[in-house]
Structure 1
Amino acid sequence: MNVTDICNLALSYISKERINSLNDNSEEAKECKIHYDHCRRRLLLAYSFGFAKSIHKLAELEPERYKIPGWSHLYAYPESTLTVHYVYDEEHAGNKEDCRMEYEIIMNGEFDRVIATNVENAYAECIHDVKEPDIFSEEFIDALAHMLAASIAFPLTGSANIQQTQLQLAQMALEAAEYQSAIERERRTKFPRKYAESRFR
């Protein structure tokens, strides 16, 4: 499965022609090229998917040069990171969800973004900007294809009904992807509430 395959899956959901690549000179390819990356990043930010999770030992910035009142430590924002979910030290790595430590993402003149915290020798659990489709779960691919279909539906079909249907299917597929990711966690599994309630009734 590659980017073109996902785009063709989305196009099939709205009954449009296949493309050979995003660089094709067709309206289908142009719309997919406009919307694909935005849809991918939106879904990656929607949940802490295991395939996108990364742990970083944060690189501290020189305290003599970089100071923000109220915070004792500043760290460089990890590259290719979409968002930070937890900042913690080694002692609290096993219970970071229960012992949440304070931090703040701040814009800095020399660095685009920095992590300000009072945690010494900090680690961060992040969501990586995963671009390789072969890393995605099958459920995530389905959600991404439906989300992309919803984004390109109106420009290509002019139908708000088709767009709305694809949005609903994208939400259902996303809940399934969240559930599948949750059951792969051994420690104190927390299922997405809405999906779990409907599944276990």
Structure 2
Amino acid sequence: MTADIAICNMALTALGHETIAAPHERTKAAGLCRLHYHGARRELLEAHHWAFATGAADLALVHGVAETATARALGYAFAFMRPADCLKARRLTDDAPFEPAGRLILCNVDKARLIYTRDLTESAVFPAAFTRALSFLLASLLAVPLMQSQKLERSMLEKYLSLVEAARETDADQGAPAGEPSVAWIEARR
């Protein structure tokens, strides 16, 4: 059983529903898990600067006319390509101001290194506290369409909010930065 299915089954059992064996099953539960799982995963990854999902990359300068025009129109001198796995841009290592613009990162420095949250899809690498919080977020999304219960939805959402706070504390206890990571911390991970 994959870790994604395990997380879906954690959500389903929290709701008091039968589990699924595979995401491609032709059941309502499997279909709803397929519909909501990746959105919930991305939502939770964006909610905090998780140590396990932090990435850093030197950005590639973009010289295209449209990209340069976009940068100038928004008051920036340079446009860089956002890393393909970048879910949320956090900061530039030199703390220069920047602005995400679609697949671009706009700033006023000619060389930029971005600290960002990676769009991790391999759920086997998620810490246990993150996985548990994700399962309750998913359960809150499944409660109404699967169980026809707004009360259950609220209950699952409350549990999620409690668990995500605990997951953040656990993440901080493991050396994750309270705010933004230092460059040395990021470099040590490479």
Tell me the TM-score normalized by structure 1. Answer: 0.81
Q: Counterpart in 2 of 1:13?
A: 14
Gap runs ≥5 in structure 2: 180-190
Classify 1:161/1:63 alpha carbon distance in 2 versus 1 (closer, same or farther; 3 Å).
closer
1:147 equivalent to 2:137? Answer: yes
8 Å CA contact retained: 1:8, 1:19: yes
Classify 1:32/1:63 alpha carbon distance in 2 versus 1 (closer, same or farther; 3 Å).
closer
Deviations 1:34-83 (A, max 9, x none): 11011000000000101111001111112777423232221101102111
8 Å CA contact retained: 2:50, 2:176: no
Greater share of helix? 2
How many residue pairs align between the two structures? 174
Q: How does 1:19-168 map to 2 (within 5 A)?
A: 19-62=20-63, 66-67=67-68, 68-69=71-72, 70-88=75-93, 92=94, 100-107=95-102, 113-168=103-158
Deviations 1:92-133 (A, max 9, x none): 4xxxxxxx32111224xxxxx211101231100011100111
Distance across 2 between alignment mates of 1:8 and 1:29 = 10
Q: Counterpart in 2 of 1:181?
A: 171
Distance across 2 between alignment mates of 1:16 and 1:65 = 51
Classify 1:116/1:10 alpha carbon distance in 2 versus 1 (closer, same or farther; 3 Å).
same
Tell me the TM-score normalized by structure 2. Answer: 0.86
Classify 1:65/1:13 alpha carbon distance in 2 versus 1 (closer, same or farther; 3 Å).
closer
Distance across 1 between alignment mates of 2:64 and 2:35 = 41
Q: Counterpart in 2 of 1:193?
A: none
Deviations 1:135-160 (A, max 9, x none): 10100000000000000011111111
Give the secondary-structure state (helix, strand or coil) at the position aligned to 2:124: helix
Distance across 2 between alignment mates of 1:145 and 1:59 = 36
Distance across 2 between alignment mates of 1:86 and 1:183 = 22
Distance across 2 between alignment mates of 1:162 and 1:63 = 51
**Identity over aligned pairs, percent:** 26
